Amino acid sequence: MSIAKTNYGIMPSGEEVFAYEIKNNLVTASIVTLGAALNKLLVKDKSGNFRDVLLGFDNLHDRLSYSDYHGVTVGQYCNRIKGGKFMLCGKLFNVEKNENNITCLHGAGEYSSALWKAKEIDDKSVCFTYLSPDMNNGFPGSVENRVTYTLSESDLIIEYDAVPDTETIINLTNHAYFNLNGYDFGTILNHTLTINADYYIPIDKYSIPTGDIASVKGTPLSFVDGKKIGKEIDADAVQLKNGQGYDHNFCINGYDGTLKTAAKVKGDESGIELTVKTTLPGIQFYSGNFLNGMKGKNNISMERRTGFCLETQFYPDTPNNAHFPPCVFSPEKPYKSKTVYSFSNI
């Protein structure tokens, strides 16, 4: 095990951005301090060769120019809040509407654009911290955030801790784009995906949750038994038209706050399999519908559906849907969650 710290670039403000590389014999992970972003994941394929399975950027300039939340830590509230408003403790809060001027997406980019502080815990863990000011982008409360990345054998473990100074909503995730054949391979449509969810959250034409919880049975949204991502992605179905593909939260079966398997994905060419486990109730499957050819590592164009996201989370727009698992936290009840990415090769 080892950790190496290198310069990733200089911000326009003059602040230095660093990359921390955690390495063992099975996996190498690189995380940059801008957005506490997961930028590289080298894992072994079925032939024993290492492949980088993350879409990302070789340098800070490209990340600032082209990033669409690639690998970043997202908060204070990931995913969408309808109308950019919610009630909390009897008070209406209006947060920044950064998507089509009708919804707040990913906390309006606060955590993902922040420069996090980093500290090496030991030879396998790095902790990133960020203090979110009260009312930043309209969210109540000052929040002390901590995200810890740990390598353990073939597992990358991400632990999230957030302590607010007052009651507030918190929903944190990582927005990594995966391609298990390698970032430079092309389409992810032949990957086989299994999602441990009998229900999902339907969306409207703006990708905002309708508030319903619907069964996946008999729909293109069913991945319970596993299928290729591309098998039904262009089916004549309202939900797929609304998301221009998959961009939906799935309700993980058996949620009770303990670590559960949420999804499994296998690369068709590499044999690399990713298992995602989480303590959270939901997982957003996004099939990279809006990747538009921006330049990534080695000047490779990241085209539509060349990467997918599996974002562990509380359900989108939970503050406006009282029947969803609650996401309100306080000094007495701080936020805490864990996500594990486990890799194997067959």
Residues 224-269 pLDDT 10s: 999 999 999 999 999 999 999 999 999 999 999 999 999 999 999 9
Does the N-terminal peptide bond of residue 76 adopt cis geometry, omega within 30 degrees of 0? yes
Q: pTM for the full model?
A: 0.98
- Tally of domains in the chain: 1
Name the pLDDT band for 346 (thresholds 50, 70, 90).
Answer: confident
Name the pLDDT band for 56 (thresholds 50, 70, 90).
Answer: very high
Residue 330 DSSP code: -
> Residue holding tokens 């864990």?
338
Cα–Cα distances in angstroms (integers) from residue 121 to residues 20, 116, 150, 151, in the given order? 12, 15, 9, 12
Q: Is 106 a residue of the active site?
A: no
Which residue of the set 106, 110, 191, 311 is catalytic?
Answer: 311
Q: How far apart are CA 164 and CA 7, in angstroms?
A: 31
Mean pLDDT within 104-112 = 96
* Of 177, 104, 114, 169, the residue nearest 147 (C-alpha): 114
What range defines the domain where residue 134 resides? 2-345
194 strand-pairing partners? 264
Domain of 237, CATH number, reads 2.70.98.10
> Residue holding tokens 């919880």?
213
Chain segment 6-44, per-residue pLDDT in tens? 999 999 999 999 999 999 999 999 999 999 999 999 999
Name the pLDDT band for 212 (thresholds 50, 70, 90).
Answer: very high
Name the pLDDT band for 149 (thresholds 50, 70, 90).
Answer: very high
Mean pLDDT within 86-98 = 97
Q: Is 311 a residue of the active site?
A: yes
Which residue of the set 175, 191, 248, 273 is catalytic?
Answer: 175
